[in-house]
Amino acid sequence: MDAEILVGRTLAGYLMRGIIGRGSMGVVYAARDLVLSHDVAVKVIRPDTAFSADAIDRLHQEARWLLRCDDPHVVRVYGSGRAEGHDYIAMELMPATLQARIAKGRPEIRELVEIGAGILLGLAAAHRAGIIHQDVKPANVGIARDGMVKLLDFGVASPLPWSTSFQDAATFTWGLPCVGSLHYMAPEQLRGEAVDDRADVYSTGAVLYELATGRRPFTDSRPACLINAVLNGHPCPPSLLNPNLPAAIDRVLIRALAKKPARRFSSVLAMMDALLQVGPLAPGPAGPKMPAARRRDPIAIPRRVMPTQYGATPNVGVAVSFGASRGWPTHATSQERYRPSTRRLDPRVHCRAADAGAEGR
């Protein structure tokens, strides 16, 4: 059955108006809720995977995870179910994505910081709920009409290794040892290794790199060469591609894109704290667009004890400031997790490595 067959039909009270996206698992439709009279997005299992028990389980698990996040920077879920033989999720409809914003050109510094902070706040909510997104990319970042940035598509998300919110979290892989999008996947994801919240730090760094420069960190179109570049290459410093970027942006993005998780930011909020230090360079109030009721309120994030197999130090926190001081649990302090090299690198070598991918290695 072709996905187009649902266009113009009513499914579970939603009038399906047209297809707005396709993924490995589902098709997303723009729809109208005929009961509440508002526009929604409805994700339906793709016809070629409709009889896959794993695909159906993942779809409904995505709805539960969206509900658990419960944050303004994560797309809202209205419900899920099965109707007329179709499994579906009804969600908030986003009028635009970051992919469309990137196509319009490089943003000003203030907009770059606000978008980045919005992504990181959404990820913080997911990590607080015990979830790794694993597929942060421009197409999975929505921009609402009021400018609010929201995370979309938790279809390949998985529990954090230390999460106690899900049974058997260590083996919760949906049978997919390597999931995500190649240009934005952390090296440990590509190697099929166990990942934690720092994989989302890497992906966010890749997304913001593309937003800031108009180019992905690694651009080779050949999958094998692209994988080798992600595993072994070094991205060109962003300011060499966009001279308007301050050195502070270089430091934030290059650190987020470190090959080893231990050299990245210890959490998404630690990365946001560093990113917001660039805020004063632009006019206007610093920080991401947030509901007025939340601007002055600290985010309450419970502490957790990290497993020692990830090089953790139990009950070590990093203080993050965004209008108020917030405690965020991490594997170790920023000083312990990242010690920058004193070796000076020729940025032109980085650019050549990024352009050439894996050639000559």
Which residues are identified as catalytic?
A: 135
DSSP string, 285-297: --S----GGGSSS
E strand or H helix that includes residue 354: helix 347-356
In sequence order, the β-bridge partners of residue 106 are: none
Rounded Cα distance, 123 and 133, in Å: 7
Rounded Cα distance, 88 and 318, in Å: 39
CA-wise closest residue to 44 among 68, 67, 19: 19
DSSP string, 153-193: --TT-EE-TT-SSSTTGGG--TT-SS-S-GGG--HHHHTT-
Structural tokens at position 88: 């579906």
Dihedral angle of Cα 201, 203, 206, 208, to the nearest 10 degrees: -70
Q: At what angle do helices 198-213 and 268-276 cross, to 10 degrees?
A: 30
